[in-house]
Amino acid sequence: MDTLIVAVLSFVGFIVAYHTYGRWLARKIFALDPQAPVPSQQLRDGVDFVPTRRAVVFGHHFTSIAGTGPIVGPAIAVFWGWLPALLWVVFGSIFIGAVHDFGALMVSLRNRGQTVGEVAGRVIAPRARVLFLLILFFALTVVLAIFGLVIASIFKLYPGSVLSVWTAMPLAVLVGFWVHRAGGRLLWPSLLALGVLYLTVYLGVYYWPIELPVSNPVVVWTVVLMVYCFFASVLPVWVLLQPRDYINSHQLLVALGLLVLGLLVAGVEGQAQLLSSAPAVAQVVPKDAPPIWPFLFITIACGAVSGFHCLVSSGTTSKQLQRETDAQAVAYGAMLLEGALAVLVILACCAGVGMGKFEPSSQGRFVLAQAPDGTPLQGRAAWEARYDVQRGWSGFNLGQKVGAFVEGGANFLAALGIPLQLGIGIIAVLVACFAATTLDTATRLQRYVIQELAATLRVPVLTNKYAATALAVVLGGTLAMIPAPGKAPGTGGLILWPLFGATNQLLAGLAFMVTVFYLWRRNKPVWFALGPMLVMLIMPAWALLWQIFNTQSGWFWPLAAMLTGQESWAWRQSHLLLVIGTATLVLEAWMIYEGARIWNRVRGVLEEPLPPLELQPAAAGGRSC
């Protein structure tokens, strides 16, 4: 029952926050106006600027921002105990994450769909635009690497999920053409596609699991995913992204609904016991684990706040909203839903795992694991077997952490009578689909960033969308190949995750900075954003500095070794992490300086307006989703 109480209190808190704090932001701070011009109508081109119904935009936005961030982050962070993770997710989502997403979307909406980076160049300083774009470039490179690895790891660990994930792509294209070219409705084709999707889950689990006959399938799947991302990035949004995300939003809501129902049944029946399954605050952690301060706040990234969300809000969502009043539901509401997902993940990785640890048998089925004395692994024993402190922080990999959620979530579904094997397939597909939507959206956003940088720095070849996209996927794929110490390529997921979290959260702090300057210039209150901005600038910078200068992280050459000549200057994988981390910190400090030097001069002074629009005929060829 304790698991159910925690879940109910968290979900009620999100609902109350949406109708109180979210409404206050919408009415008093941003003053949403249903009649205000929006970029999707002003610049409609049928490719990027496409007026779209709120339900469809919500599906695209939610599936794009969620990804596996709210899954992997909490699955790692419960190492320090479930209570700190839970508190950060709930309060971080309400007062920081949702405010960040809402602000980024509104700033972009009122600047003709410009990205937050572009707006920074006008509301702060011209140099701030280039600085922001460079930070985005580094952050998105890490995003592509880490989310590609997550999906590849899922495919390796749970081959029954492969068929369903790849079937979703051609289904989405068919639905996209049906709606856009034939003028059909979206709901019924997407529901039919959803039925096919779940049929392929069943077929993939029981009949056609797809396992690659290679020694390192993670590398192969990562390359395949990067090729897919190239095509997804250059196609019009209505061909793949919009219909795929709409279908996925249904699939995700069904899966999340099953998780909630399973949690309800397991909680009422006493099967899921949070307090007896995992420590509220861990008393023993591995010696090689980073400190909870500040790493809790960057490990749980997307589940509480994520800088990547400002890219989705200002990069794609702002170009699709039909009216301003949709912004509260799409931005503030979607972030709260992501927070609810992170709560489910915490409970699944603790109470769910405690319901029983399962391992694959020689027949490929999953059976209840046993201790050496023959007793089944349940409760605290099952959780400690998954989060074994004796193995240390470096003894885990990304797949094992994702597996904690898949395993615990499948236990919740088993409480509904769903066979464990099928439940594992459903949750694995949930994770892979979440990650896929973020992966291809991130590729599209990286393409925009590279094209903007190329235009600014006068590199004409990279202003071409195909060249920019190719560079994005090559860099992301290369970073994904970083190995863990002494292991094969593609095993360095937990090495990349802290870098992802830190660069991601710094990006959130800088996006808050843009929102604050936008409101400051209009004599609007900024107190509600200043506190979150400072938290999101300090915590990630602290984490990056720890990783750079702590010998445990392996990001730098120990000074003594260099001075004594015991270690050469040969290039290693850790140097790439060091370069990205250091460059991000330098760019952040420079941008803060740009803002600080003009702060006292710009209150009530509007930035230079955008040039007048050139009237153009609306793009022909069908309707939006």
Whole-angstrom Cα distance, residue 306 to residue 66?
Answer: 10
Of 105-109, 148-152, 167-171, 559-563, which has the strongest mean pLDDT?
105-109
Angstrom distances, CA of residue 285 to CA of 56, 76, 270: 43, 12, 28
Look at residue 607 and tell me if it is in a domain: no
Residue 625 lies in a domain: no
Length reported for the chain: 625
Split at pLDDT 50, 70, 90, the class of 180 is confident
Give 400-452 as a DSSP string: HHHHHHHHHHHHHHHTTT--HHHHHHHHHHHHHHHHHHHHHHHHHHHHHHHHH
Domain that holds residue 57: 2-359+375-557+577-601
Band of pLDDT at residue 339, cut at 50, 70 and 90: very high
Distance linking the first and last C-alpha atoms of the chain: 43
3-class state of residue 52 by DSSP? strand
> In angstroms, rounded to a whole number, what is the distance separating the alpha carbons of residues 86 and 82?
6
Flag the least confident range among 68-72, 416-420, 584-588.
Answer: 68-72
The stretch 409-437 carries a mean pLDDT of 90
Which of 173-187, 385-399, 523-537 is modeled with the greatest confidence?
A: 523-537
What mean pLDDT do residues 392-412 have?
80
- pLDDT surpasses 70 at 362: no
Q: Cβ distance 335 to 93 under 8 Å? A: yes
Instruction: Quote the pLDDT of residue 573.
Output: 53
Instruction: Give the tens place of pLDDT for each residue, 594-606.
Output: 999 999 999 999 9
Quote the pLDDT of residue 620. 42
Average pLDDT (236-255) is: 81
Band the pLDDT of 495: cuts 50, 70, 90.
confident
Q: Looking at residue 298, what is its pLDDT?
A: 92
Question: Does any domain span residue 509?
Answer: yes
Measured distance CA(428)–CA(206) in Å, rounded: 14
In-domain check, residue 182: yes
Between the ranges 67-76, 394-403, 520-529, where is the mean pLDDT highest?
Answer: 520-529
CATH number for the domain that contains residue 28: 1.20.1740.10
Is the pTM for the entire model greater than 0.85? Answer: yes
The amino acid occupying position 483 is P
pLDDT at 612 (0 to 100): 87
Percent of the chain with pLDDT over 90: 53
- As for how many domains the chain has, the answer is 1
Q: Is the pLDDT of residue 570 over 60?
A: no
pLDDT at residue 416 above 50?
Answer: yes
The pLDDT score that the predictor gives to residue 66 is 78
Tell whether 269 is covered by a domain. Answer: yes
Helices (H), 285-354: 292-299, 308-315, 327, 334-347, 353-354
- Phi and psi for 125 in degrees, rounded to 5? -165, 155
Q: What mean pLDDT is predicted for residues 196-202?
A: 93
State the Cα–Cα distance between residues 617 and 44, nearest whole angstrom: 9
37 Cα distance to chain centroid: 30
Once rounded to an integer, what is the mean pLDDT over residues 368-397? 73
Distance, in Å, from the CA atom of 42 to the CA atom of 25, rounded to the nearest integer, reads 25
pLDDT band at 547 (very low <50, low <70, confident <90, very high): confident
Rounded Cα distance, 494 and 577, in Å? 12
Which residues lie across from 359 on neighbouring strands? 367
pLDDT at 585 over 60: yes
Q: Encoding tokens for residue 570?
A: 């040969």
Q: CA dist 473 to 240, 438, 461, 478, Å?
A: 18, 14, 16, 8
What pLDDT shows up at residue 340? 95
355 conformational bin, left if phi > 0, alpha if psi -120 to 50, beta if neither: alpha
User: What is the predicted pLDDT for the residue at 373?
Assistant: 63
Average pLDDT over residues 319-342: 96
List the one residue out of 75, 118, 163 whose CA is nearest residue 405.
75
Residue 621 pLDDT > 80, yes or no? Answer: no
Q: Which of 541, 605, 414 is nearest to 135 (CA)?
A: 541
Q: Mean of the per-residue pLDDT values for the chain? A: 86
* pLDDT value of residue 364: 57
pLDDT tens digits along 138-177: 889 988 998 898 899 899 989 999 999 999 888 888 888 8
Question: What distance in Å separates the CA atoms of residue 369 and residue 284, rounded to the nearest whole number?
Answer: 24
Note the pLDDT of residue 363.
Answer: 56
Note the pLDDT tens digit of each residue in 262-300.
Answer: 999 999 998 899 999 999 998 877 777 788 999 999 999
Q: What is the pLDDT of residue 396?
A: 63
Task: State how far the Cα of 342 lies from the Cα of 517, in Å rounded to an integer.
Answer: 31
